[in-house]
A and B are shown apart, each in its own frame.
Chain A
């Protein structure tokens, strides 16, 4: 059996998550019969607790796209969208999603996805989101409600911006959810869900910060995309979500107690040679191969910015049941891509120091200008401020045409040599 075909090793939490996701997609498939209203929304700035408090089911198009990418379906979907006039230059998440809709809207797990009863456009940190739902609106005869989340241009969520979001939630989003669900807004139900969110968030942060240990028991980039899966998508504010994070925490604690490293697709990383910080989303079409390249070098990612795209919990934010709408505004405003470039630079510098990393890598994806525009300046600035070496890799989210394994491997190896050289110089000095 070739390495490519060998079954990847998985943590128990991954298996649990897979079952959760499968159950959610099955529930979505049954939604037309069960009459559970379906709300499409985005990961950054998602209002899962609010959506679920109305008895609605969330669908996250980016998750569908990335899952399609991981399961080898995105190439055909993208081709389908391009055949329908979508430019080769734009976001491949959008094209993958549109292509999937055009091909019959069969979700990544093979179940039929229901049509949305509402498009909840949480406009958080990504211009493309606006166009994406304008495009989806063309496909579905359903209402679209818009939540404008102001960008942190000056590095803070200004009080007036917070109030603006609260007003939109109260005057626009909640009435739209009331209409599609036929239920009145129940603030108590929302508070209960927010409490569940905060519990899960505590455990997630503990897991992410476990990477401060040496060796790190987790990979905070490749592994963390699994860890953040439930909380960034449909399971925030649910009992299943809380249970998942408790199980995950136990699992990581066991590895920590045993002094074990993370489990990469090819097996456990037993010798942590390099501790890295990564900026930017991963490539999904060759995810395991990409991860294994790092693992083969003994490189463990100890912190990443992508794992904060659906919320920056490690800097203290928790959903607050005592301020239900305000806390949703704070959550949305604080998502990683809603933070300005100086803030992103500060975050990377902080991670490099706090996690005692040897350097940082940027995986720059063609699809995402929100992440990618400015990353070369980030690279220089972080190197300048920390004195640590930075590397730059280019790929894409779900378009396999932009993943060149040889180039990436080459760059990663060169980067690792640079880290070694820096270490040797440090040792001599």
Chain B
């Protein structure tokens, strides 16, 4: 498979606001059902084990918002507007269930709106475990997982037996492993893996069957190995804060074209929320819960029990990625990203890591200011930094 074929496939899915791939999957066999989730983290394994297609709803900057704006005041972020727009225009009618994780109060309240607006759809608010005690947290989360497992089984008519769930856990371990490989490839050879392409691939992975995504991702890993593009004189940056409302593709392109290589980011962070594999265990829900409470990524949507955790996070991540600087790119009005930013930035700057910050919306259409900021940032690091 050629690189352009893979990228074109992913681009077509990214641009398709009618979720044709989801419809196609549903049409492949009678009785199939799809369950969606909002950012950031939802247990896709559970959805999959219930025989349903997990569908990531990440909003879109690609449609005109008419109905969505009627539901939100001007000071609320853009993501729920486009999600409501998609729903109100009938584009999400194929869903049988939607999971709303405890990312922030906007997504939390959207779960209640959904309950009122779509009473026939299964809706569940996922209260992620926040406690410092792993035993207590795992016990709580296991119970939550089993509730979703039971309920989705009833929706789909397919019970997520231990065997089915173990198989799904193994499959998503593979998915995360492939994603880790993609991130490693970009970190080590960013000139071969433009972030725009990586992002498109991962975004496509949110709405296709995991097996199919892995096929495409492995093909992509194969072609980039053959790639003989040369390294360019660019600054390696970490993009922090874009974990929920996604940046427009143009912003990702702009940052790289302004003289940066993105070597780590938070885009679609839910697909790699657990750092390692979930072990194969007799009780797969318990294994998922334990892995979550002991091995989730450090993120704004989870409580940080370590008092030094926020201060050290950017230093740790920048070192792991070999980043020369941090770009704090947060969606406007995003509580998790913007409330965390002063702590993260202070820690980064105390460690001598250059930083800049800006805000975007998923429908931002003008990128000149971002180009200037990112370009100046990259140049300043090259001229005056240690890079």
Contact = CB atoms under 8 A, between A and B. Distances in A.
B384 interface: no
Contact of A171 (B75, B113, B133): B133
Nearest to B112: A341
A341 B115 CA distance: 8
B342 A91 contact: no
Interface in A158-180: 160, 164, 167-168, 171-172
B136 A90 contact: no
Contacts of B345: 85
A421 interface: no
Contact of A373 (B110, B303, B340, B343): B110
A131 B104 CA distance: 11
A: contact size bracket: 35 or more
B211 interface: no
B339 A342 contact: no
B181 interface: no
B127 A150 contact: yes
A364 B109 CA distance: 14
A144 B345 CA distance: 22
A297 interface: no
A376 B75 contact: no
B339 A172 contact: no
A134 B339 CA distance: 9
B127 A153 contact: yes
B342 A85 contact: yes
A381 B116 contact: yes
Contacts of A164: 136, 139-140
B104 A342 contact: no
Contact of B335 (A90, A134, A135): A90
A233 to B, nearest CB: 22
B131 A374 contact: no
A134 B304 contact: yes
B332 A89 contact: yes
A332 interface: no
Contact of B105 (A135, A171, A370, A381): A370
Interface in B287-320: 300, 303-305, 307, 310-311
A321 B350 CA distance: 50
A341 B70 CA distance: 17
Contacts of A132: 339
Nearest to A128: B335
Interface in B81-136: 100, 102, 104-106, 108-113, 115-117, 124-125, 127, 129-133, 136
Contact of B112 (A90, A148, A160, A342): A342
A123 B303 CA distance: 10
Interface in A46-100: 84-87, 89-91, 94
B171 interface: no
Nearest to B100: A153
A146 B305 contact: yes
Contacts of A91: 335, 339
B341 A87 contact: yes
Interface in A278-329: none
A89 B333 CA distance: 5
Nearest to A147: B131
A377 interface: yes
Contacts of B303: 121, 123, 130, 134, 146, 148
Given A84-B342, A128-B339, A171-B136, A148 B72 contact: no
Contacts of A209: none
Given A151-B102, A151-B108, A341 B113 contact: yes
B76 interface: yes
Contacts of B109: 341, 369-370, 373-374
A372 B110 CA distance: 11
A341 B104 contact: no
B73 A375 contact: yes
Contacts of A375: 73
A394 B72 CA distance: 12
Nearest to B69: A376
A299 to B, nearest CB: 23
Given A135-B339, A151-B102, A342-B112, A172 B73 contact: no
A340 B112 contact: yes
A120 interface: no
A128 to B, nearest CB: 6
A137 interface: yes
Contacts of B335: 90-91, 127-128, 131, 369
A33 B76 CA distance: 45
A138 interface: yes
Contacts of B110: 373-374
A373 B76 contact: yes
Contacts of B310: 134, 138
B111 A340 contact: yes
B105 A146 contact: no
B9 interface: no
Interface string A112-146: 00000000010100111011101101100000101
A364 B73 CA distance: 8
A153 B124 contact: yes
A345 interface: yes
Contacts of B131: 146, 148, 168, 172
A87 B241 CA distance: 13
Contacts of A249: none
A94 B129 contact: no
Interface in B320-352: 330, 332-336, 338-343, 345-346
B382 interface: no
B359 interface: yes
Given A369-B106, A374-B110, A130 B130 contact: yes
A374 B108 CA distance: 10
Contact of A369 (B102, B104, B130, B346): B104
Given A131-B336, A138-B343, A374 B112 contact: yes
Contacts of B338: 87, 89-90
A394 B73 contact: yes
A27 B300 CA distance: 36
A377 to B, nearest CB: 5
B360 to A, nearest CB: 12
Nearest to B104: A127
A127 B311 contact: no
Contacts of B333: 89
Contacts of A160: 140, 143
19 contacts: A87-B330, A127-B105, A138-B343, A148-B131, A148-B140, A148-B303, A151-B108, A153-B112, A171-B133, A172-B131, A340-B111, A340-B112, A343-B112, A366-B75, A369-B76, A369-B105, A370-B108, A374-B109, A375-B73
Given A146-B303, A154-B124, 4 more contacts: A134-B340, A135-B343, A148-B131, A370-B109
